[in-house]
């Protein structure tokens, strides 16, 4: 069997070559900056217009990249950045920005620069200006501990940018009795999930010492532009800032 890095390189080459099959001008991926006649279906529900045929990114990745460029000003500011569970193409783009001091981290990912447990980060207090954490916390045994660690390593004026899959129910579903992968598969639909977040996600983040703003950033574009960029519908970006409690 090929080493993990070699497999990743071959997969990347495959997707890059596949982009030529869908050459056109109807849709545009802001991450790889490729134009195509269509985005591809993706996911168990086969979402239409989801997957970039060249860089293998989906709606939430493209939305986040636009947000980072336009709202965070990621190209213009000198920032210490931590990227949890890095998406390969986003990591490539972020690492290329010389104004950033960039680290990526994950428990096992072969593309991550550091192999760490998000529940016990090895970084010093108040290290990072910006932390990116997209679709990670549902896969962490103790998400409260993870959020506490993210807050610890974030500078007092820093931002934690989160994305998560939200289910329509009001409250997050957690079943402590679901301890094996098979039980978690039955409880949450994925063997490596520990919970299904409900509409209380922002409140759960805020409970760990953050002020949280939910941003539906796709609405910064017209419906036609949303379709051209493949931004999907209803995806929220949560911007969390450490709460500073003044001494009485």
DSSP string, 106-135: ESS-TT-SEE--TTS--SPTT-EEEEEEES
pLDDT the model gives residue 247: 44
pLDDT the model gives residue 13: 54
pLDDT per 10-residue tile (average), the chain, 248 residues: 56 55 85 95 87 94 98 98 97 97 97 98 98 98 98 98 96 96 96 97 98 97 96 93 70
Cα distance between residue 237 and residue 241, in whole Å: 13
Q: Measured at the alpha carbon of residue 32, what is the angle toward residues 112 and 15, in degrees to the nearest 5?
A: 75
Cα distance between residue 216 and residue 238, in whole Å: 9
pLDDT the model gives residue 74: 98
pTM, 2 dp: 0.89
pLDDT the model gives residue 137: 98
Strands 237-242 vs 210-215: parallel, antiparallel or unpaired: antiparallel
pLDDT the model gives residue 122: 98
pLDDT the model gives residue 95: 97
Place of tokens 């800032």: 241
Cα distance between residue 163 and residue 49, in whole Å: 20
pLDDT the model gives residue 248: 44
């Amino acid at each position: 069997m090929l080493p993990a890095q070699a497999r990743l390189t071959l997969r990347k080459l495959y997707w890059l070559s596949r982009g030529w099959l869908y050459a056109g001008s109807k849709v545009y991926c802001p991450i790889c900056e490729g134009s195509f006649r269509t985005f591809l279906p993706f996911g168990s529900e086969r979402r239409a217009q989801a997957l970039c045929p060249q860089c293998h990114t989906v709606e939430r990745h493209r939305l986040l990249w636009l947000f980072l460029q336009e709202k965070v000003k990621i190209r213009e500011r000198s920032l210490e950045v931590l990227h949890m569970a890095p998406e390969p193409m986003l990591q490539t783009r972020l690492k290329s920005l010389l104004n950033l001091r960039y680290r990526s981290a994950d428990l096992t990912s072969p593309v991550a620069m550091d192999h760490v447990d998000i529940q016990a980060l090895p970084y010093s207090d108040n290290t990072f200006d910006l932390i990116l954490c997209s679709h990670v916390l549902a896969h962490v045994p103790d998400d409260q501990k993870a959020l506490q660690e993210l807050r610890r390593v974030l500078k007092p004026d820093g931002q934690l940018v989160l994305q998560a899959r939200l289910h329509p129910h009001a409250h997050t579903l957690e079943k402590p009795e679901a301890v094996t992968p098979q039980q978690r598969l039955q409880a949450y639909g994925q063997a490596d999930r520990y919970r299904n977040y409900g509409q209380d996600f922002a409140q759960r983040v805020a409970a760990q010492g953050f002020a949280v703003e939910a941003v539906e950033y796709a609405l910064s574009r017209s419906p036609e532009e949303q379709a051209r960029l493949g931004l999907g519908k209803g995806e929220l970006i949560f911007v969390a800032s450490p709460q500073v409690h003044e001494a009485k």
